[in-house]
């Protein structure tokens, strides 16, 4: 304590911080046990470079940041490459060179004996000489030594280790053969007996549609019985000891979104978590100079780091997250999108959940909802859908122990287990849903966290359709990947899990795809009164089709109406009547998704954010 008080007094005497800032820093140090310098820098009281210059003078140790390029030129990357980049980033050290038994090592933690022990175990030096470097220096050095390896792992790691779980191949040869064979047989059937062929087609479509409707209704009823306040209680969060909270990494992939950065940084600063234990990584594409320049002008606190993603294909969010994962220092890691505003205690709730529940829980998914829900018709319908999805459907899946497709943000993982799973599939455009299913196949479970992250709902039809087509395309990719070896997947997840993949993931795409066909058939009959359709709706099929049309659509509208109850968004209830219009937009997205699955399967359609006129008070 005395050493850090002297540091604080030195900073105050030079006018670099105020007495009030020092007092606040010391108070937080007593609560968390963290080094005072890290606290002051993470709160933005003093710049990282300034802090380390003062530390260098105080400790009488050379500070390398000003001459880092020179040190890199004299260094030997082969020495560092005897360690994993994740270890170097986590422990924050970098072995620069070793000559005649003397190891030159850079680190911001000069007194950390664990670093000495790790270096001695691997390199066996006779003497270790330490020089002072910042966190950013270590990141730069790790990139210098491992950039190609990290990028290759981000792009191809999952494919190399488990090609059957990678979407880099859209259709396997067996799937192509099965698809063409089924199509050929159906066309032959149409040629020989068209009415019976169309009757068979309608039977498959209607029974599949019926199964989807009933399954979603079951999930909704199960989810309706359980309030959001179920996973972690307020008392369990308050029982967490601040000094025992682990480092928590937050990955924020960004691409051409400078306009949302001020709100993003504000929302991250409002997280109720010790600032010096937050490891926030803004993941910026190499070509995106506008977002990088904007980020620099905001002068974010020292716990926010910039990671530049090298240009390569595919240019997707999961590839960026994989690259950033190599630099994550936290025991836990989560993902936030650029426009996200998570509830302040979300990270603490996640820590409490991992402490409370068994080790086979690999992820806790927070609910997502929208802060601009009343902006226009589309945002109201989107909010109804999200409320239904996260507050009812996913809760139902959780309670029944079924596979849960993750959302694209606010999913929390133990970092080591996420790396064990292989991270995200960079070729799957709904990498989140795929990861949730893959985790289930590996014997893990996903839980639902009683916390919400608020996002910006798409308010433009064209942008909404592009986003929906990406989601539907990714669900189709996930369905295809995990059905490559259906019997093997069945053995892994059991009948219930297998059924969930077929109906919940495959049915999501198929249902939206075939709905316009069913509606068109009904509209044709309604307008013309023709009897020509009777042969394709024989016997019981007519009743199933009628049930789907009347009861199925009514249930869909009813479930949209009750979706608002848990959050008391009662003003949205009347809009549920307009659900068929909204579903029609979803069908447009589904047809577009199927087309892109064949033409450009890995294309990531960017959603534009920062266009809402709704202001959100995140305090």
- In the block, residue with structure tokens 């790691």: 157
Q: Does residue 69 surpass a pLDDT of 80?
A: yes
Q: With cut-offs at 50, 70 and 90, classify the pLDDT of residue 599.
A: very high
d(CA 343, CA 262): 17
Measured CA distances, 253 to 322, 347, 472, 563 (Å):
10, 18, 21, 30
Reduce the secondary structure of 228-257 to three states and give it as a string.
Answer: CCCCCCHHHHHCCCHHHCCCEEEEEEECCC
Q: Does residue 310 surpass a pLDDT of 50?
A: yes
Q: With cut-offs at 50, 70 and 90, classify the pLDDT of residue 424.
A: very high
Q: Is residue 383 part of a domain?
A: yes
The pLDDT value recorded for residue 4 is 43
Please tell me whether residue 413 adopts helix, strand or coil conformation.
strand
The pLDDT value recorded for residue 227 is 60
Please state the rounded mean pLDDT for residues 56-85: 87
Q: With cut-offs at 50, 70 and 90, classify the pLDDT of residue 617.
A: low
Q: Is residue 69 part of a domain?
A: yes
Of residues 42 and 326, which shows the higher confidence score? 326
Q: Does residue 35 surpass a pLDDT of 80?
A: yes
Q: Are 143 and 268 members of one domain?
A: no
The pLDDT value recorded for residue 75 is 87
Please state the rounded mean pLDDT for residues 587-602: 95
Q: Is residue 480 part of a domain?
A: no
Residue in 119, 117, 110, 126 with CA at minimum distance from that of residue 79: 119
Q: Are 134 and 261 members of one domain?
A: no
CATH of the domain at 274: 3.90.550.10
- In the block, residue with structure tokens 């295809």: 480
Q: Are 81 and 52 members of one domain?
A: no
94-99 sheet: strands from edge to edge: 94-99, 102-107, 127-132
The pTM assigned to this predicted structure is 0.91
Instruction: State which of 430, 461, 492 marks the end of a domain.
Output: 461
CATH of the domain at 93: 3.30.300.160
What does the block give as tokens for 479? Answer: 């369905």
Q: Are 285 and 417 members of one domain?
A: yes
Q: Are 282 and 391 members of one domain?
A: yes
Measured CA distances, 105 to 82, 88, 130, 135 (Å):
14, 11, 5, 14
* Overall domain count for the chain: 3
Fill in the DSSP letter of residue 16: S
Please state the rounded mean pLDDT for residues 316-325: 97
pLDDT in tens, 504-519: 999 999 989 988 888 8
341: containing domain: 234-461
% of the chain with per-residue pLDDT over 90: 69
CB atoms within 10 A of CB 181: 10
- Find the distance separating the first CA and the last CA of the chain, reported in whole Å: 33
Q: Is residue 286 part of a domain?
A: yes
pLDDT in tens, 222-279: 998 876 545 799 999 999 999 899 999 999 999 998 988 998 999 999 999 999 999 9
Q: Are 428 and 356 members of one domain?
A: yes
Q: What are phi and psi of 378, to 5 degrees?
A: -65, -40
Q: What does the DSSP assignment read for 518-529?
A: HHHHHHHHHHH-
Q: Does residue 5 surpass a pLDDT of 80?
A: no
Residue in 235, 266, 264 with CA at minimum distance from that of residue 251: 264
Q: With cut-offs at 50, 70 and 90, classify the pLDDT of residue 1.
A: very low
Q: Is residue 446 part of a domain?
A: yes
pLDDT in tens, 436-454: 999 999 999 999 999 999 9
% of the chain with per-residue pLDDT over 70: 98
Contact between 278 and 245 under an 8 Å Cβ cutoff? The reply is no
Please state the rounded mean pLDDT for residues 17-42: 86
Alpha helices, DSSP H only, in 298-407?
Answer: 317-325, 346-356, 377-388, 394-399
Q: Does residue 523 surpass a pLDDT of 70?
A: yes
Contacts of 297 (CB under 8 A, 6+ apart): none
- Lowest mean pLDDT of 58-72, 105-119, 368-382, 528-542, name the range: 528-542
Q: Is residue 325 part of a domain?
A: yes
Instruction: State which of 415, 441, 461 marks the end of a domain.
Output: 461
Across-strand partners of 103?
98, 128
> What value does the mean pLDDT of the chain take?
91
Q: Is residue 529 part of a domain?
A: no
Contact between 505 and 437 under an 8 Å Cβ cutoff? The reply is yes
Q: Are 296 and 240 members of one domain?
A: yes
Q: Are 316 and 413 members of one domain?
A: yes
The pLDDT value recorded for residue 31 is 83
Q: Are 419 and 272 members of one domain?
A: yes
Contacts of 382 (CB under 8 A, 6+ apart): 370, 373, 457, 458, 464
Q: Does residue 531 surpass a pLDDT of 80?
A: no
pLDDT in tens, 155-188: 999 999 999 999 999 999 999 999 999 999 999 9
Q: Are 424 and 439 members of one domain?
A: yes
Instruction: State which of 160, 194, 219 marks the end of a domain.
Output: 160
pLDDT in tens, 201-220: 888 888 888 899 899 999 99
Q: Is residue 277 part of a domain?
A: yes
Q: Are 241 and 260 members of one domain?
A: yes
Q: Are 44 and 97 members of one domain?
A: no
> Does residue 24 come out as left (phi exceeding 0), alpha (psi in the -120 to 50 range) or beta?
alpha
């Amino acid at each position: 304590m005395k050493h850090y008080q002297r540091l604080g007094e030195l900073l105050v005497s030079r006018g670099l911080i105020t007495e009030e800032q020092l007092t606040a820093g010391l108070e937080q140090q007593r609560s968390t046990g963290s080094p005072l310098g890290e606290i002051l820098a993470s709160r933005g009281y003093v710049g990282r470079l300034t802090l380390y210059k003062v530390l260098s003078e105080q400790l009488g140790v050379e500070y390398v940041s000003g001459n880092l390029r020179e040190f890199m030129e004299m260094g030997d990357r082969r020495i560092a490459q005897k360690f994993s980049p994740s270890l170097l980033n986590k422990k924050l050290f970098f072995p620069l060179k070793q000559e005649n038994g003397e190891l030159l090592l850079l680190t911001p933690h000069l007194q950390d004996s664990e670093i000495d022990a790790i270096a001695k175990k691997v390199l066996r030096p006779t003497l270790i000489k330490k020089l002072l470097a910042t966190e950013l220096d270590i990141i730069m050095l790790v990139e210098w030594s491992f950039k190609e390896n990290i990028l290759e792992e981000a792009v191809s790691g999952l494919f190399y280790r488990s090609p059957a779980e990678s979407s880099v191949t859209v259709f396997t040869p067996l799937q192509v053969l099965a698809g063409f064979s089924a199509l050929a047989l159906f066309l032959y059937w149409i040629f020989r007996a068209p009415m019976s062929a169309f009757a068979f087609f309608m039977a498959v479509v209607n029974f599949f549609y019926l199964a989807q409707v009933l399954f979603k209704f079951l999930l909704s009823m199960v989810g309706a019985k359980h309030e959001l306040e179920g996973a972690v209680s307020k008392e369990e969060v308050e029982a967490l000891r601040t000094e025992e909270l682990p480092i928590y990494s937050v990955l924020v992939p960004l691409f051409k979104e400078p306009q949302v950065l001020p709100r993003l940084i504000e929302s991250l600063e409002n997280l109720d978590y010790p600032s010096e234990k937050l490891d926030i990584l803004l993941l910026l594409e190499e070509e995106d100079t506008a977002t990088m320049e904007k980020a620099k002008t905001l002068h974010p606190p020292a716990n926010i780091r910039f990671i530049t993603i090298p240009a390569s294909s595919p240019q997707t969010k999961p590839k960026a997250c994989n690259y950033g994962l190599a630099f994550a220092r936290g025991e836990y890691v989560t993902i936030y999108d650029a426009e996200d505003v998570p509830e302040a205690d979300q990270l603490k709730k996640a820590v409490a959940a991992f402490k409370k529940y068994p080790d086979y829980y690999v992820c806790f998914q927070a609910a997502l909802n929208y802060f601009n829900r009343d902006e226009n018709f589309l945002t109201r319908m989107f909010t109804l859908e999200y409320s239904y999805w996260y507050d009812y459907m996913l809760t139902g899946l959780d309670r029944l122990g079924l596979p849960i497709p993750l959302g694209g943000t606010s999913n929390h993982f133990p970092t080591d287990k996420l790396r064990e799973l292989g991270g995200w599939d960079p070729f799957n455009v709904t990498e989140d849903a795929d990861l949730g299913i893959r985790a289930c196949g590996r014997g893990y479970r996903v839980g639902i966290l009683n916390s919400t992250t608020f996002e910006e709902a798409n308010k433009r039809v064209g942008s909404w359709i592009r986003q929906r087509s990406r989601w539907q395309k990714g669900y189709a990719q996930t369905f295809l990947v995990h059905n490559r070896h259906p019997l093997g997947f069945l053995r892994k997840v059991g009948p219930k899990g297998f059924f969930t993949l077929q109906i919940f993931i495959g049915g999501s795409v198929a249902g939206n795809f075939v709905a316009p066909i069913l509606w068109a058939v009904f509209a044709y009959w309604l307008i013309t009164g023709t009897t020509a359709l009777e042969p394709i709706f024989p016997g019981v099929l007519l009743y199933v089709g009628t049930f789907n049309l009347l009861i199925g659509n009514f249930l869909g509208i009813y479930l949209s109406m009750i979706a608002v109850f848990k959050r008391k968004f009662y003003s949205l209830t009347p809009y549920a009547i307009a659900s068929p219009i909204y579903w029609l937009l979803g069908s447009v997205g589904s047809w577009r998704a199927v087309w892109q699955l064949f033409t450009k399967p890995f294309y990531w359609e960017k959603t534009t954010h920062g266009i809402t006129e709704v202001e959100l008070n995140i305090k």
